[in-house]
């Protein structure tokens, strides 16, 4: 067992720092954290870590420079040796392969933890095994701190909170609209898609309809479809919306875990809360073609043979799209909270970040870690457990803003 947190060598360790998202996260830490930060970058390759460390020193010569920790992520004892030295660990690893090794080490040493893992059925296993232990000892495990599902979770929480503040009203529904997106996948993302397709092909059990409450500690109200036959919905504030949003089911499950954790603590947005996510579209014709596009892409990506062919043209694990190009693809989305019992009472929360999907993931990973390190002010009176980004509350919102995100919240009576 590691010693008290205040006596540990590091404030923060970025584990898996030499991968595509790991490098961006380390850069975000170097640029945005205080100059007295004691931190390390960790991974398997000493040469790659040294190269990254030199790059980080160049980003901010007067800032805090990381030390290097060598660890084979498939060796539990080596991961353990790194995790026990730090107060907070950012885990950017292949979660289905070695992610649990990191989680176990953080539980063992009471090290607060942040990751980008958001696949609900995967998180369900971790929650069942680790939530109660982490909760009882006050260790915070913040999952899904990425483009999917960090902004969606935080905006949903912020809009519902504003509705409560402005009108004293519970929230009937949060509608989230993705208005600008960056579709470029990294090698790690594509590897995960390959694994998912392979698992479905190997499974002898028919795939069941997804349960949106699969990781919520309490069940919610049945979800009622709001879209038309083309899965298009129109809202007076958000315009035309297509239900074919890329990660809507994952994001819905994460948002519902936040809802369940807060509702169980009597600080939730209300018992009838629902979350629905869409992509903004310019016309119903665009919505029709989006439906065709998504159906074709989904069919292709569910076939392991197609994915093996695509692999020839995709980035290798640890690499990804050109960083300079993705930095010019802004991310924008808006959440609308509607009062339970009065559709005229509404609150909105919007998010924009100028630098693409993986930069957004790096932003959320780094700032969630900063929130744990410098504040650890958790919503709902929570002290620990398998948690979500929104549980970091207003402290995370302010840190995201300070690091370059634009988050705006407002309310109105129609």
Q: Do 345 and 384 belong together in one domain?
A: no
Q: Do 53 and 177 belong together in one domain?
A: no
Q: Is residue 84 part of a domain?
A: yes
3-state DSSP helix/strand/coil % of the chain, to nearest 5: 45, 20, 35
| Local confidence pLDDT in tens for the 414 residues of the chain | 566 777 899 999 999 999 999 999 999 999 999 999 999 999 999 999 999 999 999 998 988 899 999 999 999 999 999 999 999 999 999 998 999 999 999 999 999 999 999 999 999 999 999 999 999 999 999 999 999 999 999 999 999 999 999 999 999 999 999 999 876 554 444 444 445 444 444 444 344 457 899 999 999 987 766 666 678 999 999 999 999 888 899 999 999 999 999 999 999 999 999 999 999 999 988 888 888 877 777 777 666 677 667 666 656 555 567 777 777 789 999 999 999 999 999 999 999 999 989 999 999 999 999 999 999 999 999 999 999 999 999 999 999 999 999 999 999 998
Q: Is residue 125 part of a domain?
A: yes
Q: Is residue 88 part of a domain?
A: yes
Cα–Cα distance measured from residue 36 to residue 100, given in angstroms and rounded to the nearest whole number: 31
Q: Do 155 and 167 belong together in one domain?
A: yes
Cα–Cα distance measured from residue 85 to residue 65, given in angstroms and rounded to the nearest whole number: 17
Q: Is residue 139 part of a domain?
A: yes
Q: Do 231 and 328 belong together in one domain?
A: yes
Q: Is residue 395 part of a domain?
A: no
323 alpha carbon, distance to own chain's centre: 20
pTM: predicted TM-score of the whole model, two decimal places: 0.91
Q: Do 250 and 376 belong together in one domain?
A: no
| Burial (CB count <10 Å: 0-12, 13-18, 19+), residue 249 | middle
**What is the tally of structural domains in the chain?**
2
Cα–Cα distance measured from residue 213 to residue 301, given in angstroms and rounded to the nearest whole number: 25
The 3-class secondary structure across 140-171, one letter per residue, is EEECCCCCCCHHHHHHHHHHHHHHHHHHCCCE
Q: Do 317 and 246 belong together in one domain?
A: yes
Q: Do 170 and 292 belong together in one domain?
A: yes
Question: Which tens digits make up the pLDDT trace of 273-320?
Answer: 999 999 999 998 888 888 887 777 777 766 667 766 766 665 655 556
Q: Is residue 80 part of a domain?
A: yes
Is 371 within 8 Å of 392 (Cβ atoms)?
yes
Q: Do 157 and 288 belong together in one domain?
A: yes
Q: Is residue 200 part of a domain?
A: yes
Q: Which domain holds residue 279?
A: 150-357+401-413
Q: Do 112 and 260 belong together in one domain?
A: no
Q: Is residue 331 part of a domain?
A: yes
What end-to-end distance do the CA atoms of the chain give, in Å?
Answer: 57
Q: Do 191 and 307 belong together in one domain?
A: yes
User: CATH number, domain at 74?
Assistant: 3.40.50.720
Q: Do 323 and 371 belong together in one domain?
A: no
Q: Do 265 and 317 belong together in one domain?
A: yes
Cα–Cα distance measured from residue 102 to residue 10, given in angstroms and rounded to the nearest whole number: 16
């Amino acid at each position: 067992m590691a010693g008290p947190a205040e006596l540990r060598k590091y404030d923060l360790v970025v584990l898996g720092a030499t991968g595509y998202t790991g490098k961006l996260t380390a850069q975000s830490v170097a640029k945005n954290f205080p100059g007295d930060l004691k931190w390390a970058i960790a991974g398997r390759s000493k040469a790659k870590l040294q190269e990254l460390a030199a790059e980080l020193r160049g980003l901010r010569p007067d800032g805090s420079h990381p030390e290097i920790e060598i660890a084979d992520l498939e060796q539990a004892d080596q991961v353990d040796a790194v995790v026990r030295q730090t107060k907070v660990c950012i885990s950017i690893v292949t979660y289905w392969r070695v992610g649990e090794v990191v989680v176990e080490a953080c539980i063992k040493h009471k090290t607060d933890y942040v990751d980008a893992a958001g696949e609900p059925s995967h998180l369900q296993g971790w929650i069942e095994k680790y939530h109660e232990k982490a909760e009882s000892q006050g260790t915070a495990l913040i999952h899904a701190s990425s483009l999917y599902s960090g902004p969606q979770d935080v905006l949903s929480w912020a809009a519902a909170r504003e509705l409560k503040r402005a009108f004293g009203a519970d929230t009937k529904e949060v509608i989230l609209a993705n208005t600008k997106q960056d579709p470029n996948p990294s090698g790690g993302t594509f590897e995960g898609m390959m694994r998912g397709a392979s698992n479905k092909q190997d499974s002898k059990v028919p795939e069941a309809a997804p349960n949106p409450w699969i990781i919520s500690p309490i069940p919610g109200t049945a979800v009622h479809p709001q879209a038309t036959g083309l899965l298009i919905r129109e809202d007076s504030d958000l315009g035309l919306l297509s239900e074919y949003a890329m990660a809507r089911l994952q994001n819905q499950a994460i948002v519902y875990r936040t809802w369940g954790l807060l509702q169980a603590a009597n600080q939730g947005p209300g018992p009838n809360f629902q979350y629905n996510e869409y992509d903004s579209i310019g016309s119903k014709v665009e919505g029709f073609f989006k439906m065709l596009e998504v159906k074709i892409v989904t069919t292709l990506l569910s076939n392991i043979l197609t994915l093996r062919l695509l692999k020839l043209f995709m980035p290798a694990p640890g690499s990804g799209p050109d960083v300079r190009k993705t930095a010019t693809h802004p991310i924008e989305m808006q959440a609308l909270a509607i009062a339970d019992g009065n559709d005229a009472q509404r609150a909105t929360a919007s998010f924009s970040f100028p630098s693409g999907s993986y930069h957004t993931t790096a932003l959320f990973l780094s700032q969630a870690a900063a929130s744990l390190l410098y504040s650890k002010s958790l919503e709902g009176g929570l002290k620990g457990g398998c948690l979500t980004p929104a549980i970091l509350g207003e402290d995370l919102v302010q840190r995201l803003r300070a690091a370059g995100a634009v988050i705006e919240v407002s309310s109105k009576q129609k």
